[in-house]
A = this chain, B = another copy of it.
């Protein structure tokens, strides 16, 4: 353990330095693995990720998605069936040609995402209307040889925690309803993590390979770069036709199904880290904090009753389902520990000493303000839950401030075209205007904003690129 107690770097001034320090000091990942873009997840970071994944998996289960597992490798011939997909993903797809001692007859492609892997099987599974809708998800590692610069967690070559959902439907209307459900699920998920986001519909010229259209959830990191948190894709019938996924309709006619898919990766935890963290270090929302409460005994050497009391408190909290850790380490002072656990993002701390023991109380400190609360032991759990809910509010509003700070509304700040963040510009949906905006701002049109965390006036009062009347807003940014 280094002597440094808190990160002590302003994330807005030097995000790469801040981010790398937090990942390392808080024990999230180790970036020293000898393959570029592949990271080692440390136990503390992985626990936060597992808790994060659990939230989404529960939301998927509650809405009738069933977990399945499809293989990692797909024969080249199967991978190549949908031509747009092959074109879009081929260049970044890892290829296995054999083992150390043997060459295969057919090359195996390592999944960059699982459409082709799954839909080969769906061809056999879907026969009639009663097999629809089919709603599945899996939690898997996928591999993409990114040519963009890699960034720990945010842009990697092994995505180790991809939660991909896939659905099939009898009609386009049902598929569109599914798109709405998926958006609602993701909204709930990101809201639980207190992450603010724009939802954009990507322009036709930048749509997911093999799709009709897709919606992206976009947030912004402290360095101003946009980050795609999740993607919801209407595949239409493209894959259904490539893989001959058909059902016998009630009218006796065989029809191709309509499909959707949507995915989220460990990247969402990178967003949580970057957006909620501060100069002290990490700040986990209580719902995904591996340790929700750290208990620090404040005691003289050998004052064992205090230690026993600390474990008594711990056991009570555990019985209520609280994730708690008692820091019994003797090497460091309580003050050092306070900073250390704040740096690790633990949202609440309990201090117990002689005084608390004698009065059967605990002193609760919180990561969001310098306030401490002394309460009777039996009231501790209720107070913790109240504090966590306040902390969630605090994180939510701070994250929104962050997003506002890193987003510029172009009509009001026309001088800020080169702004280091996201840019909102009136738009008419045309490619010409999009290209003009991209040139002016040096950013990419990420899509048409369909939902904004910031209040925007009706676009009709502006012109798009000084020409036509605007009927929407474009979100522009440089993304990870």
Chain A residues in contact with chain B, CB under 8 A? 30, 32-35, 38-43, 46-47, 50, 66-75, 78, 90-102, 108-110, 120-121, 124-125, 136, 140-141, 143, 145, 158, 160
Task: List, sorted by A's number, 26 A–B pairs whose CB atoms are closer than 8 Å.
Answer: A30-B121, A32-B121, A34-B78, A35-B73, A35-B108, A38-B72, A40-B70, A43-B67, A46-B69, A47-B67, A50-B67, A69-B160, A71-B158, A71-B160, A72-B160, A91-B100, A91-B101, A92-B99, A93-B100, A94-B96, A94-B98, A95-B99, A95-B100, A99-B145, A100-B109, A141-B141
CA separation between A160 and B141, bound complex, in Å? 11
CB proximity of A440 to chain B, nearest CB, Å: 33
Known: A35-B108, A71-B39, A158-B72. A91 touches B95 (CB 8 A): no
Q: How far is the CB of A109 from chain B (nearest CB, A)?
A: 7
Report B-chain residues with C-beta under 8 Å of the C-beta of A160. 69, 71-72
- Identity of the chain B residue whose Cβ is nearest the Cβ of A103 in the assembled complex: B95
Separation of A222 and B142 alpha carbons in the complex (Å): 37
Q: Are B72 and A143 in contact (CB under 8 A)?
A: yes
User: How far is it, in angstroms, between the C-alpha of A66 and the C-alpha of B47 when the chains are bound?
Assistant: 9
List of B residues within 8 angstroms of A124 by Cβ: 30, 32
Q: In the complex the two chains form, is B67's CB within 8 Å of A136's CB? A: no
Q: Is the CB of B42 within 8 A of A68?
A: yes
Q: Contact at B73–A158, with CB atoms within 8 Å?
A: yes
Assuming the A-B contacts A92-B99, A96-B96, A109-B100, are A71 and B145 also in contact, with contact meaning beta carbons closer than 8 angstroms in the complex? no
From B50, B71, B98, B141, contact of A35 by CB (8 A)? B71
Q: Which residues on the B side are within 8 Å of A94 (C-beta)?
A: 73, 96, 98-99, 108
Name the residue of chain B whose CB is nearest to the CB of A101.
Answer: B91
In the complex, what distance in Å separates the CA atom of A69 from the CA atom of B101?
28
Q: A32 CB to closest chain B CB, in angstroms? A: 6
Chain B contacts for A102, CB-based, 8 A: 91, 145
Say whether B43 contacts A136, CB under 8 Å: yes
Residues of B within 8 A of A39 (CB): 71
How many angstroms between the C-alpha atoms of A70 and B71 in the bound complex?
A: 19
- Is A99 a contact of B108 with CB atoms below 8 Å? no
In angstroms, Cα B32 to Cα A42, docked, is: 37
How many Å from the CB of A26 to the closest CB on chain B? 15
Task: Flag if B93 contacts A68 (CB, 8 Å).
Answer: no
Do the beta carbons of A46 and B32 come within 8 Å of each other?
no
CB of A366, distance to nearest CB on chain B (Å): 27
Contacts of A136 in B (CB 8 A): 43
Contact A75–B158 (Cβ < 8 Å): no
Partner of A99, one of B71, B73, B91, B120: B91
Contact indicator A95/B92 (Cβ below 8 Å): no
Q: Which residue of chain B has the shortest Cβ distance to A137 in the bound complex?
A: B43
Taking A71-B33, A121-B30 as contacts, is the C-beta distance between A95 and B97 under 8 angstroms?
yes
Contacts of A90 in B (CB 8 A): 99-101
Residues of chain B lying within 8 A (CB to CB) of residue A50: 67
Q: Within 8 Å CB of A98, what residues of B?
A: 94-95
Contacts of A74 in B (CB 8 A): 35
Q: How far is the CA of A97 from the CA of B96 in the complex (A)?
A: 7
In the assembly, what is the distance between CA of A102 and CA of B93, in Å? 10
A38 to B121, CA, bound (A): 13
- Nearest-neighbour CB distance to chain B for A478, whole angstroms, equals 25
CA distance A32 to B78 in the complex (A): 13
Shortest CB-to-CB span from A165 to chain B, Å, is 13
Give the Cβ gap from A123 to chain B, nearest Cβ, in Å. Answer: 10
Q: Which of B35, B73, B78, B125 interacts with A75 by CB under 8 Å? A: B35
The complex places the Cα of A140 from the Cα of B75 at a distance, in Å, of 21
Known: A99-B91, A100-B95. A38 touches B71 (CB 8 A): yes
Contact B40 A69 (CB under 8 A): yes
For the complex of A and B, list the 10 residue pairs with the smallest distance between their C-beta atoms, beginning with the closest: A43-B66, A38-B71, A41-B69, A90-B100, A99-B145, A91-B101, A94-B96, A71-B158, A40-B70, A43-B68
Q: A95 and B96: CB pair below 8 A?
A: yes
> In the complex, how many angstroms separate the beta carbon of A329 from the nearest chain B beta carbon?
11
Residue of B nearest to A108 (CB): B35
Please, how many angstroms separate the alpha-carbon atoms of A32 and B42 in the complex?
37
- Complex: A93 Cα to B97 Cα, angstroms: 11
Closest to A98 in B: B95
Contact of A110 with B96 in the complex, beta carbons under 8 Å: yes
**Alpha-carbon gap, A310 to B429, bound state (A):** 54
Please measure, in the bound complex, the distance between the C-alpha atom of A97 and the C-alpha atom of B109, giving whole angstroms.
Answer: 11
A34's partner among B66, B75, B99 (CB-CB below 8 A) is B75
